[in-house]
A and B are shown apart, each in its own frame.
Chain A
């Protein structure tokens, strides 16, 4: 169980950050503490949970590494739901009743459009954070190790290519190929 929870951490962090941005800036501009915390909680909790869910799906190999389409589809459903939960629960958290939006369908449709932007940002940050986190926990977590290896395989292809290029460069840059009469372009002046 703990292994699976650890897979969810990067996505949960990115999801929660989205909600916390609003709360954090609220505090900076001097808004009452309770209001800022409510805003942050109402957004950060559902987005964090869904972000963690994305991490579990990606970690188990159901989503290919960092490919956009699955992330976009996932958030097309998830983001509007998270917003609906946040919108409805804000009033409740502030001590009143639930406050769902007046036009639920229009609300969900609009949030669905915004979700594409959210998906780009989420994926962007997730791909930056996940490899570092997996490297940190993989010694004790077999699932994290498997996911990490997929990143390593991918990175190895790139490293090999650049290592080959470096080896070749060793001969080229030392004496600028220009110095070799044979390598010099007949057209060069």
Chain B
């Protein structure tokens, strides 16, 4: 199926006050057509730090600080070629998610609904099943407990309530979050660099970097039932995992990138009354106008800089630094390898911290735990906002009657819902979710990544005008992504009977 642009009268200027009788529109799927509007000018310089800060906050987590350093210690630095593929694939996915969001001002969920509504409901359901569990808080809170002695359940519950209050009081949630996360991530990057500079050696970093190009290296032990599922999980968790790339489209829109400038931004609960009414769909720019296409290329340059330097660069930096740290740790404390093999996450984190302390004094042990706590805080802020933002977007647009409420109210409903549920679970239940469904959740999270590659192919190639559709090479890479994620997941399931570790 193709989606022809509607024949219509050209608009006679951008700042008209009444819509012309025959407005030009872009039809995409069966949902309401997108009116043609002007594309804003792209930022004239690349120095504006974009919404990638959210992806970095969400993506730089346990995968980078724990899972990959662990694999390097177990299988050698040569295993890192799989990380290189994983994170590079994610950078391309990010650029493709940005393509749809910047061209239309719609989230990728809306794009999926334009293709086939049940696809969007699939993601709506997966988000609830996977992301309501407060398990991601535990590592950060546990690290904080090691540092300060405050019981982790207390800091986690207090943290949840503070996050809720922070977002409810904010005038514009996006602005607040971008500022807070930028500061935290800036400190994380600067601090990680300093620590890596103090602990690592030339040979550590050389082996870490050269290991990334050892394509095809897979030791026999990695292909066992014990480790292959963990390898699959680590690849999936290289960079943002699960649905985080999809949520990025909402942050991109709220940052005013591309046609997102035409969509009002979500306000905090206290300022909900000031929110403008949300349009029922996004907009499209005139892809037949060379001036508009020049602006579009400017936006693509802007987001590419974001993807390559900030997302790819920072994710790579953090994981290289932590791998260097882990190698330094294993030299001073051989116990760390045994603990990692045993799969005891908290024990292993403490052992790595102790090793750093042995290598460079207690300060380094503290710094390591401080970074884990910081990563936990970043992830908490990012995930709670992203989950609420994504669910609110789908609810507002596709649940009958939801438009009676403001987007801010629906956002606040999901936010406080997930916080209340989180506190109950932290106090009375298993944080990661009931043991019996853990495998299903892990499967769903990784499955969503393969699924969003397929959705991207469908949305970008069928719902966008031809001049701004992806090139063949890009499609092949995204197609490879779908086969890569789903293939490894299903192989793990059928060969070993286990999903991801």
On A, residues with C-beta under 8 Å from B are 14, 17-19, 21-23, 25-26, 28-31, 35-36, 39, 43, 64-68, 79, 83, 103, 106-107, 109-111, 113-118, 120-122, 124-125, 127-128, 154, 157-158, 160-162, 164-165, 167-174, 176-178, 180, 182-189
Contact = CB atoms under 8 A, between A and B. Distances in A.
Q: Which 10 A/B pairs are nearest by Cβ-Cβ distance? A: A66-B47, A185-B33, A121-B189, A29-B366, A26-B363, A121-B190, A161-B40, A125-B186, A117-B317, A118-B193
Contacts of A183: 19, 23, 25, 33, 35
Contacts of B35: 172, 177, 183
Contacts of A66: 45-48
B194 A187 contact: no
11 contacts: A28-B148, A117-B196, A124-B182, A124-B189, A157-B44, A162-B261, A164-B40, A165-B40, A168-B37, A172-B37, A187-B30
A174 B17 CA distance: 11
Contacts of A28: 147-148, 366, 370
B276 A173 contact: yes
Given A117-B192, A120-B189, A67 B47 contact: yes
A17 B190 contact: yes
Contacts of A171: 16-19
B18 A25 contact: no
Contact of B365 (A29, A177, A187): A29
A176 B18 CA distance: 12
B159 interface: no
A165 B379 CA distance: 32
Contact of A110 (B147, B205, B264, B276): B205
A109 B24 CA distance: 59
Nearest to A30: B362
A171 to B, nearest CB: 6
A2 B288 CA distance: 54
B276 A169 contact: yes
B277 A161 contact: no
B33 A184 contact: yes
A19 B44 CA distance: 34
Contacts of B392: none
B376 to A, nearest CB: 16
Nearest to A118: B193
Question: Chain B interface residue count: which class?
Answer: 35 or more
B49 interface: yes
Contacts of B151: none
Contacts of B198: 22
B289 interface: no
Contacts of A65: 45, 47
Given A184-B32, A189-B30, A25 B366 contact: yes
A31 B21 contact: no
Interface in B349-400: 361-367, 370
A19 B429 CA distance: 41
B310 interface: yes
A167 B17 CA distance: 8
A101 B35 CA distance: 65
Nearest to A122: B190
Given A170-B17, A177-B279, 12 more contacts: A25-B366, A29-B365, A30-B362, A64-B47, A79-B197, A113-B209, A121-B186, A128-B179, A157-B44, A168-B38, A173-B264, A187-B33
A118 B193 CA distance: 5
B15 A114 contact: no
A22 B41 CA distance: 42
B183 interface: yes
Contacts of A116: 313, 317
B406 interface: no
A120 B60 CA distance: 15
